[in-house]
Structures are given as structure tokens and as C-alpha cells.
């Protein structure tokens, strides 16, 4: 008998109301729930024998097929995700022909030019090799894979696909069996321990890891050879459009001090001594703003405190961040070598807690990095800090209604504080959805019924959404700028707050790269009306080190930066007028999908208005 415990495949059924005909899905919360019992941790089940694992995979595939057939889903991102799981199951269960057909469907649903060209390249080559050789191993499979992957990569145009290919190369240099197991241990095992199984997103992740382990990892070396050769032959850097658009204000201009709030994970205010707001009556909080602990209690501080373990890990994380960035850009550095070694050699039982520490320190650095972008080139900027920990799925306790109501009140306090202290711009490089709260409950709740977890997540989410919206409404003369999100999805469909909210003094921002081309990760939707540089943007992190980070988190403060400069030049402007000036100065892409900010053009519009007065 195998030492791998056998999965108890009790019938996992959708817990939803099945109406006659297809049910319309308007938001992510409308999707049905499923449960997949496990009698062992997901991290060990990942290495189960094929018969045992594929029994789970087939059940996941059947439930995904039921959603695709019985629900009318207009959101293309959701369809791509479901079809991606279907494709994974087909590959695992011996249907490469079906997988190739599913891959064609996914490619047809891609909305970004680069994604249409690069969708599923490696797995497509593996499926083609599988179909031709009749196996996923052996010389015939390897030879066919190398042929198909090389043929596909070599046919790509360099300009639109270079960022995706570099990121793929970096991922292949970092991925390892240990990293897969460590990720499963950190992200999926807590759910199994609490609920006795996985919900559909968890099961989809586990199936995806299995495909990576079975098909991608064995061919990583061959794929790296192909990518390295292609990148080396074509590596012409994209032009950087942002330097020519940037505006740096100087002290000798007629500027009005403008308060910019960084509503985030905190700021190392020692890095910005000349650009700080000082509250003359701080009371129980910092003179630079407000800070709340994970239970919503106000405390005096600008930046989250670190425990001894986190302080020890921080230098390693800085090196890892730099190493990953170097890998993505083909830089053969000591940090890059250390990153490869650390993530491949660390055993899963050590890697899992390290990944949790990495997640915490990533958000710990986040607010300081954002602040540096927001105040760049603006001597009139005065930073206000509003700190809380938004990494909800990583909090070690289960949410309660009382917890949510406490933060709702806290957020209202934040909005009141901004209004009372004449904060003109707020940057919010974060977002939360009902799905994220479900992930939190998956890890912390003992409730085994996923439908009940979903219902409770909806209750918490509604309070949280009211709290965020209440903060924004409490300061109507303040312009609130938020990140669209990094899910390559429609922010409105996901229900991300604040990005899905529609308020006159709120604007959501998507991310483009140095050439103004849409990034692979940026979310989008009707509320995302401006786009800014969100690719390898350099700024400070706590302690003063400079790092280049990518995300809509970096694009949002670039828009906040521009807005603050417009307020500094003309403090009489309203949030709505500033939004109009930024939109009027922006340049649209040929397809009308993107609207790239142009600080120089928007500043010129303000100066023209001032000259005419």
C-alpha cells in the first residue's frame, strides 16, 4: 500500500441554486462553490501517484465543466481561468488533443496583444509533443517539445512579447519541486487543516502545481535554452517614454503646500524629512497621521513594527527582491545567484514559513516605496500617513463581524482626518474583494461548508466595502487615487474595493511599461480610466535601499504625484477638475484601451488656465 494516504473522494457537488437554463454571472461572487475533501496536506498530496491524484483532477474538471455549461459568464478573465483548469486536467488525464483545443479557446479570449501571442506557449509545446509521442516522458517527447517550443518562440515578434518572455525565463530559473511544495504548504495546507479539504480555487491551484511538476519542470532546462537564445538575439530595449513626459517642480515656483496621504502599510518617514505633514495636536497617534494594528486599534507609529525574526529576514528579502529583478532583466548578479539558490535549495518545511515572512515584508516595504513615487519632483508635497495591514488572507485569526465593524469605524475616522486636515490627494495601492475574504476564511475558519464560508465572506465584504466607500465620501474635497489590481481581470467583476467603486472624487489606475504598453498583470474595467508607469519603478523601501518594483501599486502613485503637482500649482482646483485635466492631457492608445498620463501636458493646461486669469 502506498505511503501516500488515499484521497477520500466524497462526491463534491456545487452548492448553488440551479435554475432552469443558464444562470447569469454578473460578479465573481455569483459563481458556485465546490468542496474537495482531502485526508492529508495538499503539499504531500501533490506527489501522490497518478491514479490517486487524477481522481481528484477528474472531479475538479467535471465541476469546472458544469460551471462552463450551466452558467452564462461574460467576464473573459474568469472564462480563461476556468478553461485553464480544464486544460490542466486534460493534460494530466491523457487528453492532449482536448487540451490543445482548450488552449485555442483561451487564446481567443485573451484581451491584451502580448497575451494573445504568448498564451500557453510552453504547455502548448508539451501538449503537441504528448500528442505526437504518446507520452510525457522519453526521448521522443523531449525532442518534439524542443522542436515545437523553439518554433513557437522564434516566430514571436520581439517588441510586444519581450517582457513576458523575460518574466517566463526568470520563473523557470526559480521554480523547483521544493518551491512548489513550500507554496502548497504555505497557501493550501492551512485550508485543508481547518476544513478537511479544498474549495475550487484551492483545488485549481493544486492541479496547476501538479501540471508544473509533471510537464514544466522536466523541460525547464530545454525551455531556458530556447528563451536565452531568443532573448540574446533580439534584446533591444524598449524606449522609455516617461522621462520626456515628467515634470519636476522647483521651490522658486509659486507653489502651495499640498498634503498627500499614503493610505497603505506605513511609511519610513525618516526618508522624507522635508516632505512631512506635522499635526500640531496628534493626541494618541503619530504627528504624521493615523496607524491601526490588525485588530483596528489606533497606535502611535508611521510604520509597522517588526519582530526579531522579521528584522533578521529583512536583509535576505531585500537581496531576494533585487535578485528576482536582476533575473527578469538578464543580469547575472550575486543577488540573482543567491535568489536561485535560496528558493531551490530551501526545504519545503523551511520555505513555507519563509514565504509567509516574505509576504509580510513585501507589504511592509510597500507603503514606503509608494510614498517615494508620490512625492517625487514636488517640493510642495507633505506626506500624511494612514497605516493598516491589508494582507487579509495572511492574518492569523478569522474575521468577525465585530472586527469588520471596527475597521469600518476606523476608515471613517481616516476620512474625517483627511477632511479636517485638508489632505488633497490620497493614494490607495491596495484592494480587497469577497474572494480575498473567502481565502482568509479558508485558512482560518473551521466551517467545512464552502457555501457558508462564502455567505459569511459576503457579510464581511459588505461591511468592508461600506467602510472604504464611507472614508472616501467623508472627504469629498480630496482626490482618492487607487490601483486597478494585478489580477489581469475586470476590477468591477471581481468587486475589488476601492477599484470597483464609482465616486466623483475617486480614480482607478492601470499599469503600463516604460514604452506605454499594457502590462501582462494589470487589471482593467470601466472604472480604470487612466494608465501610468507601473513597470520596474524605482523608489525607496524602509531603511533607504532603492528597489525597482512592478504593479498597479506603482502606477497609482504616479497619478497621485501628477494630481498633487496640479493642486500645488492651483489649490483652487476640485478633485473633479484635476481628474479632467489629467484625462485631457492623457494620450490614448490606437485601440482606445489605454489612456496614458502625460504630466507635462496636464501641467501645461493648468499653467494656461492660470495665465488667462
**Do residues 27 and 158 share a domain?**
yes
**Do residues 43 and 156 share a domain?**
yes
**Do residues 62 and 162 share a domain?**
yes
**Do residues 211 and 269 share a domain?**
no
**Any domain includes 194:** yes
**Any domain includes 422:** yes
**Residue 6 has which C-alpha cell?**
488515499
What CA–CA distance (Å, rounded) separates 48 from 184? Answer: 14
Residue entry with cell 509608494: 370
**Do residues 397 and 425 share a domain?**
yes
Side-chain-facing half-sphere of 384: CA atoms under 13 Å = 27
**Do residues 199 and 288 share a domain?**
no
| C-alpha 279: how far from chain center | 34
Residue 13: the pLDDT is 33
Residue 341: the pLDDT is 86
**Any domain includes 573:** yes
Taking a C-beta distance cutoff of 8 angstroms, is the pair 68, 14 a contact? no
Residue 21: the pLDDT is 63
**Do residues 301 and 426 share a domain?**
yes
Domain that holds residue 559: 242-305+370-612
**Do residues 543 and 507 share a domain?**
yes
Helix H or strand E encompassing 51: helix 50-70
**CATH assignment of the domain containing 558:** 3.40.50.200
Side-chain-facing half-sphere of 288: CA atoms under 13 Å = 25
Residue 324: the pLDDT is 87
Residue 283: the pLDDT is 86
Taking a C-beta distance cutoff of 8 angstroms, is the pair 355, 178 a contact? no
The neighbour count for residue 201, using CB atoms within 10 Å, is: 19
Residue 99: the pLDDT is 98
Angle of CA points 476, 481, 483, to nearest 5°: 145
**Any domain includes 262:** yes
**Do residues 44 and 82 share a domain?**
yes
Give which of 456, 442, 451 is closest to 191, Cα–Cα. 442
**Any domain includes 6:** no
Residue 344: the pLDDT is 80
Angle of CA points 583, 588, 593, to nearest 5°: 105
**Do residues 190 and 51 share a domain?**
yes
**Do residues 284 and 176 share a domain?**
no
**Do residues 279 and 157 share a domain?**
no
**Any domain includes 567:** yes
Give the tens place of pLDDT for each residue, 228-276. Answer: 999 999 988 889 999 999 999 998 889 999 999 999 999 999 999 999 9
**Any domain includes 315:** no
Residue 237: the pLDDT is 83
Pairing, β 381-387 against β 423-428: unpaired
Please tell me the total count of domains within the chain: 2
Among residues 185, 200, 234, the one where a domain terminates is 234
What CA–CA distance (Å, rounded) separates 547 from 315? Answer: 13
Residue 114: the pLDDT is 92
**Any domain includes 511:** yes
Residue numbers in the chain where pLDDT is lower than 70: 1-21
Among residues 234, 262, 291, the one where a domain terminates is 234
Residue 327: the pLDDT is 85
Among residues 201, 234, 267, the one where a domain terminates is 234
Give the tens place of pLDDT for each residue, 150-180. Answer: 999 999 999 999 999 999 999 999 999 999 9
Amino acid at each position: 500500500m502506498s505511503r501516500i494516504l488515499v484521497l477520500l473522494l466524497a462526491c463534491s457537488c456545487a452548492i448553488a441554486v440551479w435554475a432552469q437554463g443558464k444562470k447569469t454571472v454578473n460578479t465573481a461572487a455569483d459563481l458556485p462553490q465546490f468542496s474537495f475533501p482531502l485526508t492529508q496536506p495538499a503539499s504531500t498530496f501533490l506527489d501522490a501517484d497518478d491514479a490517486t491524484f487524477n481522481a481528484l483532477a477528474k472531479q475538479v474538471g467535471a465541476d469546472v465543466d458544469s460551471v462552463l455549461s450551466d452558467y452564462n459568464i461574460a467576464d473573459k478573465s474568469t472564462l480563461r481561468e476556468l478553461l485553464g483548469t480544464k486544460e490542466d486536467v486534460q493534460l494530466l488525464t491523457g487528453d492532449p488533443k482536448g487540451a490543445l483545443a482548450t488552449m485555442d479557446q483561451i487564446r481567443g479570449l485573451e484581451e491584451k496583444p502580448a497575451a494573445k501571442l504568448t498564451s500557453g506557449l510552453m504547455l502548448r509545446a508539451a501538449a503537441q509533443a504528448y500528442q505526437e509521442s504518446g507520452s510525457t516522458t522519453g526521448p521522443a517527447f523531449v525532442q518534439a517539445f524542443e522542436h515545437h517550443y523553439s518554433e513557437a518562440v522564434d516566430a514571436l515578434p520581439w517588441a510586444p512579447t519581450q517582457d513576458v518572455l523575460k518574466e517566463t525565463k526568470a520563473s523557470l530559473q526559480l521554480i523547483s519541486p521544493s518551491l512548489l511544495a513550500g507554496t502548497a504548504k504555505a497557501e493550501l495546507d492551512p485550508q485543508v487543516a481547518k476544513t478537511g479539504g479544498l474549495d475550487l480555487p484551492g483545488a485549481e491551484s493544486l492541479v496547476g502545481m501538479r501540471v508544473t511538476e509533471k510537464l514544466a519542470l522536466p523541460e525547464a532546462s530545454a525551455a531556458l535554452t530556447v528563451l536565452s537564445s531568443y532573448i540574446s538575439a533580439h534584446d533591444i530595449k524598449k524606449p522609455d517614454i516617461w522621462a520626456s513626459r515628467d515634470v519636476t517642480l522647483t521651490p522658486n515656483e509659486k507653489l502651495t503646500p499640498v498634503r498627500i496621504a499614503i493610505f497603505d502599510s506605513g511609511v519610513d518617514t525618516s526618508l522624507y524629512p522635508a516632505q512631512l505633514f506635522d499635526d500640531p495636536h496628534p493626541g494618541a497617534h503619530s504627528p504624521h497621521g493615523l496607524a491601526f494594528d490588525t485588530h483596528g486599534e489606533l497606535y502611535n507609529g508611521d510604520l509597522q513594527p517588526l519582530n526579531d525574526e522579521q528584522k533578521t529576514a529583512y536583509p535576505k528579502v531585500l537581496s531576494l527582491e533585487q535578485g528576482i529583478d536582476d533575473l527578469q532583466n538578464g543580469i547575472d548578479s550575486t543577488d540573482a545567484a543567491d535568489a536561485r539558490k535560496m528558493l531551490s535549495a530551501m526545504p519545503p518545511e523551511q520555505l513555507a514559513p519563509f514565504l509567509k515572512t516574505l509576504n509580510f515584508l513585501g507589504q511592509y516595504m510597500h507603503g514606503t516605496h509608494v510614498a517615494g513615487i508620490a512625492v517625487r519632483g514636488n517640493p510642495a508635497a507633505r506626506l500624511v500617513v494612514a497605516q493598516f495591514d491589508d494582507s487579509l488572507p495572511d492574518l492569523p485569526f478569522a474575521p468577525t463581524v465585530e472586527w469588520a465593524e471596527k475597521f469600518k469605524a476606523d476608515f471613517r475616522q481616516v476620512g474625517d482626518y483627511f477632511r479636517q486636515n485638508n489632505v488633497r490627494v490620497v493614494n490607495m495601492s491596495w484592494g480587497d474583494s469577497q474572494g480575498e475574504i473567502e481565502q482568509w476564511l479558508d485558512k482560518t475558519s473551521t466551517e467545512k461548508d464552502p457555501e457558508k464560508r462564502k455567505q459569511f465572506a459576503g457579510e464581511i465584504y459588505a461591511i468592508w466595502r461600506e467602510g472604504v466607500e464611507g472614508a472616501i465620501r467623508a472627504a469629498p474635497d480630496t482626490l482618492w487615487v487607487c490601483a486597478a489590481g494585478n489580477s489581469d481581470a475586470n476590477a468591477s467583476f471581481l468587486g475589488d474595493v476601492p477599484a470597483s467603486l464609482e465616486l466623483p472624487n475617486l480614480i482607478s489606475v492601470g499599469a503600463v511599461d516604460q514604452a506605454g504598453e499594457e502590462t501582462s498583470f494589470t487589471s482593467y474595467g470601466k472604472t480604470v480610466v487612466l494608465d501610468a508607469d507601473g513597470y520596474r519603478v524605482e523608489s525607496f523601501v524602509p531603511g533607504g535601499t532603492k528597489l525597482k518594483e512592478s504593479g498597479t501599486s506603482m502606477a497609482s502613485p504616479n497619478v497621485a504625484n501628477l494630481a498633487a503637482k496640479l493642486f500645488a500649482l492651483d489649490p483652487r482646483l476640485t478633485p473633479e477638475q484635476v481628474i479632467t485635466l489629467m484625462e485631457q492631457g492623457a494620450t490614448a492608445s490606437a485601440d482606445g484601451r489605454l489612456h496614458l498620463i502625460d504630466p507635462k501636458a496636464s501641467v501645461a493646461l493648468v499653467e494656461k488656465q492660470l495665465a488667462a486669469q
